[in-house]
Amino acid sequence: MNDKDQIKDVVTSVAMLQDMKQWERLEEYFVKKPFVDNKALSGEMPAVIPKHRLIDGWHREIGAYFYATRHFIRRLGVRMLNSKRARVTTSVENVHYVADRGERYAWTVRGTVEYILVKSTNGSWKISQMIFKLQDQAVRPLGAAV
């Protein structure tokens, strides 16, 4: 598999593993302390954080608020910056399924995620930066017309 295909695999695997709630498998896709900017959704200031803290946060958030998620990558572009660094831009649509007071809702978030991936000494690609930019969001009862 060439570098661009490996990079695409990393980004799509992270989305898929979140939906599958395979938290322990996510750590292999990140550097020890990635830069994360998810302020548009979480309200947290952008920061360099340990990868286990990032993944634990996803685990707590998804476990506490959502009974399921579905992360769709609508477009994924890879630009090699050099042989050990790449920029990835994705268009995403993330659906979060919420149960509240006997009702079920879908919270849909659309935006872009910009990644920087770096090639490790063992040849695997890891996410070192992840910036989410919100385009729009909507909450609708399940079963409602789209």
One digit per residue, pLDDT tens: the chain, 146 residues? 899 999 999 999 999 999 999 999 999 999 999 999 998 888 889 999 999 999 998 898 887 789 999 999 999 999 999 999 999 999 999 999 998 888 899 999 999 999 999 999 999 999 999 999 999 999 999 875 55
Q: What is the pLDDT of residue 144?
A: 57
Work out the burial of residue 132: count CB atoms within 10 Å of its CB; fewer than 13 is exposed, 13-18 middle, 19 or more buried: buried
Which range of residues forms the domain containing residue 57? 3-141
Is 120 inside a domain boundary? yes
Q: What is the pLDDT of residue 86?
A: 98
Is 122 inside a domain boundary? yes
Task: Decide: pTM greater than 0.85.
Answer: yes
Is 26 inside a domain boundary? yes
Q: What is the pLDDT of residue 65?
A: 84
Q: What is the pLDDT of residue 118?
A: 98
Q: How many domains does the chain have?
A: 1
Is 28 inside a domain boundary? yes
Is 55 inside a domain boundary? yes
Is 146 inside a domain boundary? no
Evaluate whether 45 touches 39 at the Cβ level (below 8 Å). yes
Is 107 inside a domain boundary? yes
101 φψ region: left (φ > 0), alpha (ψ -120 to 50), beta (else): left
Q: d(Cα 118, Cα 84) in Å, to the nearest integer?
A: 5
- Which CATH number characterizes residue 108's domain? 3.10.450.50
